[in-house]
Amino acid sequence: MSNPVVLIAEELSPATIDALGPDFEIRQCDGADRAELLEAIADADAILVRSATQVDLEALEAAKRLKVVARAGVGLDNVDVKAATQHGVMVVNAPTSNIVSAAELAVALMLAAARHVSPAHAALRNGEWKRSRYTGIELYEKTVGIVGLGRIGVLVAQRLSAFGMRVIAYDPYVQAGRAAQMGVRLVSLEELVAESDFMSVHLPKTPETVGLISDEQLRKAKPHLVLVNAARGGIVDEEALFEALSEGRIGAAGLDVFAKEPCTDSPLFALENVVATPHLGASTDEAQEKAGIAVARSVRLALSGELVPDAVNVQGGVIAEDVRPGIPLTEKLGRVFTALAGEVAQQVDVEVRGEITQYDVKVLELAALKGVFCDVVEEQVSYVNAPLLAAERGVAVRLVTEAESPDHRNLITIRGTLGDGSQVSVSGTLIGIAQRERLVEVDGFAVDIEPTDHLGFFRYEDRPGMVGTVGRVLGDAGINIAGMQVCRDEKGGHALVALSVDSAIPHEALEEIRTSIAAVEVRSVDLTD
């Protein structure tokens, strides 16, 4: 039998090929040349890419033997993960390969902005010696606010602590005790903006975080604030940032990411108090080597049929066929759980009931944690780091199995206890020969709804007219309802509207619903990748 074919479509670190070993036939092509790629991928078992090669539906359909797509880096914008999943092709990346490089760049931007390195360098190249014009500020004994205390945020906090800075942070998914162990004080976003001399953003880009650092927030800042965003473009409102910098309401900014990329023309680039780089967070020799080695190892695991921890869509390894369909459902349940909780849980139980408990269902616990943390940390969440993320945040995790399942053939529940002692739960099952995904319980309310890309949950005191009000508000906002269910705990008690919609519900519509029906709780869930 011939060795599996591994296609390398872009220039990678030599260590990548060394990590693959001698068991594969290594071929190379120019992934940016479309015709060459489509011809070369036809009989490849695996393909390794960086960012220039588009692995889309056309490429996947041309690849008759393809089992795994490996992106030597973090981002997956050039890989159609959904199409790969439909074709049974595993997608892997290197989620932690660049965290040190990204953290160091954030610190570099902070120092450069604080000391006016960019404009001073430009002036000197133009033959100008302007020492007095570019007087900067020290980091020592200043307060730095870290927005997002994930792995990169923690690395930045550690490095800035060494500069003698006081570190505060905003992250609703980190417990105060855990932050205190790192010498970090947790505060609200408003407090962080008001207290900080320096700010560094380290959040994932989600519908909730887009525009999080807005004009409203920037108006609370100190006039000498230095703001750094080396996380994701769009989290900082660029128009509001430009106005704040132009008007002298904040001091300077360091930017590595932008709302639309590539970005070569922005009003921000004309400001002397802005230092900007073209998304260089992962652009170090060390990060590229780590990424290449990581995905090479994943390819070896995938092609040998073993569990691949860094797979972002389907999992390989010894997982029972009856368990596999529950993996994507469980990950979705984790994401719904996080949206409903709105904060980090102190205890998370992953409960699995029914026939599948005769198999090893440990993978469902990992899938649940992957979903729980998917939308709250900046780094890519995998089966390897999800338990570590839980441990870092002081979250106790327990897998509970029970062979008896009275109402469903199999039932998966994620149940968590929050800081105030309240509980959040969400349950799902697979129905029919097609194994269709259904949400069947939310916070004790029995529901039956498909977990589509966009969901909404509104809890209120049971009384007439509320469903019509919800429909009117969504209609006025141009949101089409795909499915809706109303349930209640008792007549005149609490009621829950659970619905799936065709597009994300705007924040303004959510607030109008909250006010109009005097809702106890209003939550939206975005399950898009």
Cβ proximity of 139 and 198 under 8 Å: yes
- 247: Cβ–Cβ under 8 A, 6 or more apart, which residues? none
Strand order in the sheet with 481-488: 481-488, 494-501, 454-461, 521-526
Active site (annotated) includes residue 261? yes
Q: Which helix (H) or strand (E) holds 179?
A: helix 176-181
The two tokens of residue 88 are: 């049974």
Of the residues 261, 306, 508, 511, only one is catalytic, namely: 261
CA dihedral of 105, 106, 112, 118, whole degrees rounded to 10? 60
What is the chain's alpha carbon radius of gyration, rounded to the nearest angstrom?
25
Secondary structure (DSSP) of 451-516: --SEEEEEEEE--TTHHHHHHHHHHHTTPPEEEEEEEESSTTSEEEEEEEESSPPPHHHHHHHHHH
353 Cβ contact list (under 8 Å, min separation 6): 401, 402, 403, 404, 405, 408, 410, 411, 412, 413
d(CA 160, CA 405): 52
DSSP calls for 120-176 = HHHHHHTT---TGGG-----TT-EEEEE--SHHHHHHHHHHHTTT-EEEEE-TTS-H
Catalytic residue among 115, 151, 178, 279: 279
User: Do the Cβ atoms of 83 and 60 come closer than 8 Å?
Assistant: yes
DSSP sequence for 405-445: -SSSSEEEEEEEE-TTS-EEEEEEEEETTTTEEEEEEETTE
Count of helices and strands (H, E) across the chain: 17, 22
Q: Are 281 and 379 in contact (CB under 8 A)?
A: no
Q: Catalytic: 279?
A: yes
The answer to whether 72 and 50 are in contact (CB under 8 A) is yes
| Residue 427 bridge partners (DSSP) | 413, 441
DSSP label at residue 390: H
Edge-first strand listing for the sheet containing 436-442: 396-402, 347-354, 410-417, 423-431, 436-442, 445-449
Asked if 441 is an active-site residue, the reply is no
Beta bridge partners of 523: 457
Catalytic residue among 50, 151, 232, 300: 232
- Locate tokens 């998917």: which residue? 374
Active centre residues (catalytic): 232, 261, 279
